[in-house]
Amino acid sequence: MKKCFLTMILTLMLAVTGSPARAAFPEQPINLIVPFSAGGSTDLDARAFATIAGKYIGQPMMVANRPGGSGIIGSQYVVSSKPDGYTILIGRPGAQGVATACFPETTPFTLDSYTFLGMVDASPCVLMVHPDAPYKTLQEFIAYIKANQGKLKYSSSGVSSIHNFATQYMLNLSGMKHDALIHVPYKGGGEALTAIMGKQVDMMICAYNEASSYIKSGTLKALVVMTKDPFPFAPEIPTAVQAGMPELQLGTWFALLGPKDMPQEVRDIYWNTIQKVVVDPDYLRMIGEIGCVPTLMDAETAKEYVIAQNAIFREVGQAIGIVK
Amino acid sequence: MWDHLSEGALLFFSFVNFIALTGGTFFGLLMGAIPGLTATLAVALALPFTFYLQPVTAVMLLVGIYKGGVYAGSIPAILIRTPGTPSAACTVLDGYPLAQQGKAGQALFMALYASCIADCIANLALIFFTSYIAALALKFGPPEFFTLICFSLTIIAGVSGNSLSKGLISAGLGLLFTTVGMDLVYGSNRFVFGQVELMAGISFIPVLIGLFALPELFNALTAKTSTAATTTIGSTLPFAEVKRCFRTILRGTFIGVILGAIPGIGGTPATFMSYSEAQRASKHPETFGKGELEGVAAAESANNAVCSAALIPLLSLGIPGDVVTGVILGAFMFHGLTPGPLLFQQNLSFVYAMYIGIVVSSLVLFLAGKLSIKCFSQVTKIPAKLLFPAVLVICIYGSFAVNSQLFDVWITVGMGIVGYMMNRFDVPAPPFLIAFVLGSLFEDNFRRSLVISSGDYSIFLSTPICWFFMALTLLSLALIVRRNIRAVKKSHATCSSLEYRG
């Protein structure tokens, strides 16, 4: 009896201390932080990624939602975590884009607070209108706005959302002032899209993956997809070039980020995993259905891309006067 | 149509679907019964598993979890005064007093019967009136929303207890708390005090737990006699009681179906509106809040009707009615199904299979719920000295689990102290809660309407729906004023007659 007890204690001690000093990463489950609530577009993408990535990295990857403050709270959580690779973040153009570029004084982090691990997916912006609207092309719509300055309305998911900034970018490019359209903010992308359906507002610019189900079913109409080349999931929507406004190229992205100063070997493991995930047939099927395109970029390229996009946001923010 | 129906029946009636539905319902029951773990979280957790299932099986699993979770929120609401899910907050008002009177069994069964009856009727609404209800829901823009919320706020008078002024103080406090965080129109931070966690505003569940559960625990601590958690579950529910509450259940279902179908409102306001209408229609409104079975029936019928109704805009327009249906939308899309008019054209047999499954799910919910009441009612047998510490742990864990941040635990503790003080000074908590639920909807839609109309207030009378709710608001205000004047006169009369006699 005593012996049995002793062995139990010993095994327990072994279990606690038994792991070798430097085991290969990862030796425990990984937390993928989604700074938005469950069920949103970021959450869906993250869950698809986590399911497949777990297969390749050798440990389960768990999605943890830490919503609030337009993604700031979850993003800050990752910045203040240990850079051991067990806490990583889905970076999005709201928190890591608009917030860092335009509101540095209220954003507790910068792009340098993160280790970039790579770009995973992207989804281009689309301009959505009601299918009954009199305008059928982007040019007709721009002309309509010009003829009715200050009368038409657009919805967004808040002042600092990419929806708002993308719309202002379009106004800026077509030589109009920021108040040519009235901004009606909602609490989320879904509510903002519903407002077009109920004809409370006239248009909204959002990511294709937010609106794909409405585009496919014809409840809403996309006038332009903000890419250079035809968009593979919806080749019938005119591109920015075809619509006659070639500079109008904007998209949303899903990047994998970790806290600053992550060890090089952990970064390499993540980069290998990302490369395998974005060609996995199950993964392609899942994200294809929700309207995202696998967009592989290594850490440096991803960071450069984000910096370039942020420069646009800053310019727009200055033009509409919310950035000093 | 019959071809598609029989095809749909073939699609649905398989062993795997039953397993998914029943398993989902039990999982939902378990998650819903633990405070802080909501139906939303349960559905999101199950989402990755559905990638590898057939579409019908996947949807059945999620629907089972959703309905089980929403129903089970009532169990801890009744037994330990801690709503398991936000939409069970209203169930506390009468459920817990019933449990204290040793009628926990009656309350639990009433919650189950009301939930299942409402669920059945709402299913029929979903199947037969989807397109009409969805068209109505789309007509709700910001001004319509605002007038609806105005009307909902008049509920405060009904749950204020003896003193309307104390009720208004409580509601004012609730409204004040909703202004914390980033404002919608300008994006400026209000009452944030440099705390990143406050930028998103104060979360609902920590407030809920703090306001209801903690004061009860503090009371138990300070009570001289041991409050031995009323160790009887009580008798089961006589059928006559269900019959008496049937009208209330029907009314609750109707309110739940309409409000549930309007995207962005959610279950909690529907339960309070159903509760206040039940009280208004009752012959003895004074019993509400002191252990009235009709109160439980009103709340629980409304929140389960919302479940099916939230699927209405999802199926017909592709708009999720609440967060849970947002996750279900994701599951649809992972399987290449696009909710909306296209679904009815291209996947009609799938739609029929889903309808059959949803109807069956009411039955599964009933059986699973009955079984779970047996298990959970053991809680009442736990002695208070063991139960209360355990409840405290669950409360703290629940408030942490919502956003996994410690900050929310401090909110809970702070609200617990506020709730205890309110208790001591006889200020009712429900008005605070209602104002807190509706406050941000009230403010956002008010400001959004004025942005749309460029500051013209006539927008609040611009459509028939606005007129309708404005009229209802004025009517219920008039009733409140009349009732209070009468009450004052009555007390004067009794005073003066006493003086006369004296």
List chain B domain ranges. Answer: 2-462
Preferred mutation among A217, A280, A322 to probe B, highest tally of B CBs within 10 A = A217
What proportion of chain B, given as a percentage, has pLDDT over 90? 42
Q: Which of B47-51, B223-227, B471-475, B489-493 has the lowest mean pLDDT?
A: B223-227
Rg (CA), chain A: 22
* Between residues B406 and A129, the one the model is more confident about: A129
Please, which pLDDT band fits residue B502 given cuts at 50, 70 and 90? very low
Binned at pLDDT 50, 70 and 90, residue B496 comes out as: low
Mean pLDDT score of chain B: 87
User: Above 60 in pLDDT, residue A12?
Assistant: no
Helix, strand or coil, per DSSP, at residue B232: coil
pLDDT of res. A205: 95
pLDDT confidence of residue B485: 85
pLDDT at B469 over 60: yes
On the CB side of B314, how many CA atoms lie within 13 Å of its CA? 28
Expressed as residue numbers, the domain containing A115 is 30-123+251-319
Residue B132's pLDDT is 87
In a domain, A111, yes or no: yes
Decide if pLDDT at B147 tops 50: yes
Quote the percentage of chain B above a pLDDT of 70: 96
Q: How far, in Å, are A16, B160, B306 from residue A239 at the CA level?
A: 58, 58, 41
ipTM: 0.82
Residues of B with Cβ-Cβ distance to A69 under 8 angstroms:
181-182, 196-197, 199-200
**pTM: predicted TM-score of the whole model, two decimal places:** 0.85
Burial code (b: 16+ CB inside 10 Å, e: under 16) for A107-138 equals bbbebebbbbbbbbbbbbbbbbbeeebebeeb
- At B411-448, the pLDDT tens digits run 999 999 999 999 889 999 889 988 998 898 899 999 99
Alpha-carbon separation of residue B46 from B20, B30, B338, B452 (angstroms): 11, 13, 20, 40
Chain B residues lying within 8 Å of A66, measured CB to CB:
403-405
Cβ B142–A218 below 8 Å, yes or no? no
If one counts the domains in chain A, the total is 1
Please indicate, yes or no, if residue A295 is contained in any of the structural domains: yes
Helix (H/G/I), strand (E/B), else coil: A78: helix
Smallest Cα distance from B151 to chain A, Å: 21
Q: What does the alpha-carbon distance between residue B363 and residue B211 come to, in Å, rounded to a whole number?
A: 34
Instruction: Check residue A18 and give its pLDDT.
Output: 42
**pLDDT tens per residue across span A205-253:** 999 988 888 898 888 999 999 999 999 999 999 999 999 999 999 999 9
Give A264 to chain B, closest Cα distance, Å.
29
**Shortest CA distance from B445: residue in chain A:** A186
Amino acid at B387: L
Q: Would the CA dihedral through A163, A69, B193, A31 be positive or negative?
A: negative
The DSSP secondary-structure symbol of B405 reads -
- pLDDT grade for A53, boundaries at 50, 70 and 90: very high
User: What is the reported pLDDT for A248?
Assistant: 92
Q: What's the pLDDT score for residue B285?
A: 85
Mean pLDDT, to the nearest integer, of B263-270? 84
Statement: residue B390 has pLDDT above 70: yes
A7 band by pLDDT with thresholds 50, 70 and 90: low
**Would you mind telling me the total number of residues written for chain B in this entry?**
502
How far is the C-alpha of B41 from the C-alpha of A265, rounded, in Å? Answer: 34
Identify the CATH number of the domain in which residue A285 sits: 3.40.190.150
Task: Give the type of residue at B451.
Answer: V
Q: Are B286 and B333 in contact (CB under 8 A)?
A: no
> What residues contact residue B483 under an 8 Å CB cut-off, 6+ apart?
none
B41 lies within 8 A of chain A by CB: yes
Cα separation, B447 vs B436, in Å, equals 17
B344 vs A: CB within 8 A? no
Residue with tokens 């679904």: B343
- Chain A CB contacts of B326 under 8 Å are 39-40, 190
Q: What is the pLDDT of residue B338?
A: 80
Specify if A142 maps to a domain.
no
pLDDT at B495: 66
B359 touches chain A (CB under 8 A): no
pLDDT at position A3: 54
Higher pLDDT, B140 or A190: B140
Residue A201 lies in a domain: no
Mean of the pLDDT values across residues B34-49? 82
Are B36 and B46 a contacting pair, CB within 8 Å? no
The pLDDT score that the predictor gives to residue B233 is 64
d(CA B91, CA B73): 9
Q: Residue B357: its pLDDT value, please?
A: 93
Q: Record the tokens describing residue A254, joined without a space.
A: 């899903």
Quick check: B333 and A213 CB within 8 A? yes
Q: Which residues contact A8 (CB under 8 A, 6 or more apart)?
A: none
Select the more confidently predicted residue: B498 or B271.
B271
- Tell me what pLDDT residue B340 has: 80
Kindly list the residues from chain A whose CB atom is less than 8 angstroms away from the CB atom of residue B182.
69-70, 158
Residue with tokens 């929507």: A237
CB contact under 8 A, B184 and A190: no
Residue of chain B whose alpha carbon sits nearest to that of A150 = B454
Between the alpha carbon of residue B2 and those of residues B7, B10, B241, the distances in Å are 8, 12, 40
Size of interface A-B (CB pairs under 8 A): 154
- Asked if residue B323 lies in contact with residue B40, where contact means CB atoms within 8 angstroms, the answer is yes
* A89-140 pLDDT per residue, tens: 999 998 899 989 998 888 889 999 999 999 999 999 999 999 999 999 999 9
Distance from CA of B385 to the nearest CA of A (A): 32
The pLDDT confidence band at residue B397, using thresholds 50, 70 and 90, is confident
